[in-house]
Amino acid sequence: MAFAHLAPALRKNEPQQYVILNAWIIERWTDEILYWNRKKFDEIKKIILPSDAIWKPDTTLYNSLVMNDDDTSRMDNAKVSLLMDEKAALVEHLYPTLYKFSCILDLRFFPFDNQACKMIFGSWIYDMEGIDYHPHNESEQRPFGIHNCIENEGWRILGTKVERREVKYQCCANKYSLLEFTLYIQRKPLYYLINLIAPTSIITFIAIIGFFSTSNMHHSREEKITLGITTLLSMSILIFLVADKLPSTSSFIPLIGEFYILFQRLANQPGH
C-alpha cells in the first residue's frame, strides 16, 4: 500500500482537531483466482477490470471520522497483470480518496508549531493470516509520496514516515497487521505574524511606556489610566482571537496564552 499523490486539499481544523487530506492511494496484491493462461488469449498479459468485479481488501482508516467509504472514496477500475512465476495475477488498484481523520494537536508554540498527524490503516475483518500489509516502495521512492504535492496556503509538509505494526487485540486469537503513516506538517505563520504577533508587540510596547511613565499631575494620571484601560481591552480582543483558533483542552497552555495572562496581571497592578 502506498500514497501516490497528495492533492492540495490539506486542511486542518484546530478547534475540532481533525485533518482533511485529499490523496491518491495505490494498493497492490496477488490473486491466484484471476490467473489465466495467456497462450489461450492471444498472449494478453494485462487487463483492466471494474473494481466491483474483483475481490478487494477491506482497508480501513482506523482513526477516520467518516464511517461510510462511499462518501470519501471513488472506486474505479483495477489493472490486473500476470505473474508467470507465481501462477497468479498482480492487482493494482489506484483510486482517489478524501480522508477526514483525527489529529491531536500540540499548540504550545502556536503559531510557530509543527504537527505530526498519524493515519492508521488495516483490515477490519482479516487478521495477519488473511491480509498482511506492507508499505510499497517503487524505484526506491517513499511509500508516502509528496513530490507531487501542491503547496497549501496554511501548512507546509515537512516529511513523512511509514511504520508497519503487528497488534494483538484481546478479542481475537491472531495479530492484525497495521500500517501507520505519519505526516509531519509546519504552520505558515505569516498570517498570524501580521494579524496577531505584530499588534501584540505594539500593544505591549505602549503598555510598557505607560507603565514606566510618571504621573505627578492629575491630568497625566487620568491619561495613564485611559492608556492602561485601552491596552487592556485591545489585548482582550486578541485573546478572543487566539481562543477562537485553539481547541478546548486542559492539557496545556500555549506560550502566547501565558504571555497574555502575564500581561493582564501586570496591567492590573495598582501602580499602573
Give the pLDDT confidence of 210-220 residue by residue, as tens digits. 666 665 555 56
Judge contact between 77 and 37, C-beta under 8 A: no
Of 252, 246, 206, 241, the closest CA to residue 226 belongs to 206
Q: What is the number of other CB atoms lying within 10 angstroms of the CB of residue 199?
A: 15
CB under 8 Å to 103, separation ≥6 — which residues?
A: 12, 17, 18, 19, 115, 117, 118
For 11-52, what is each residue's pLDDT tens digit? 777 778 888 888 888 899 999 999 998 888 888 999 999 988
Q: Where are the beta strands (DSSP E) in the chain?
A: 2-6, 11-13, 18-31, 46-50, 59-61, 77-83, 88-102, 114-123, 155-167, 176-187
CA neighbor of 27 nearest in space, from 118, 122, 99, 119? 122
Q: Are 23 and 3 in contact (CB under 8 A)?
A: yes
What percent of the chain is helix, strand and coil (3-state, nearest 5)?
Answer: 25, 35, 40
Looking at residue 168, what is its pLDDT? Answer: 92
pLDDT of the residue at 221: 66
Provide CATH code, domain 2-187. 2.70.170.10
Estimate to the nearest angstrom the gap between the alpha carbon of 58 and the chain centroid.
Answer: 23
Q: Would you call 65 helix, strand, or coil by DSSP?
A: coil
Domain boundaries, the chain: 2-187, 190-267
- CA distance linking residue 139 with residue 145, whole number of Å: 12
Cis peptide before 143 (omega within 30 of 0): no
Residues of the chain with pLDDT under 70: 1-10, 69-72, 137-148, 210-221, 224-225, 228, 249-250, 264-272
Output the CA–CA distances (angstroms, integers) from residue 215 to 55, 205, 222, 225, 264, in the order listed.
82, 18, 9, 10, 21
Reference 65, options 21, 101, 15, 39; nearest CA is: 101
Residues with Cβ within 8 Å of 205's Cβ and at least 6 positions away in sequence, in order, are none
Q: How many CA atoms lie within 13 A of 148 on its CB side?
A: 12
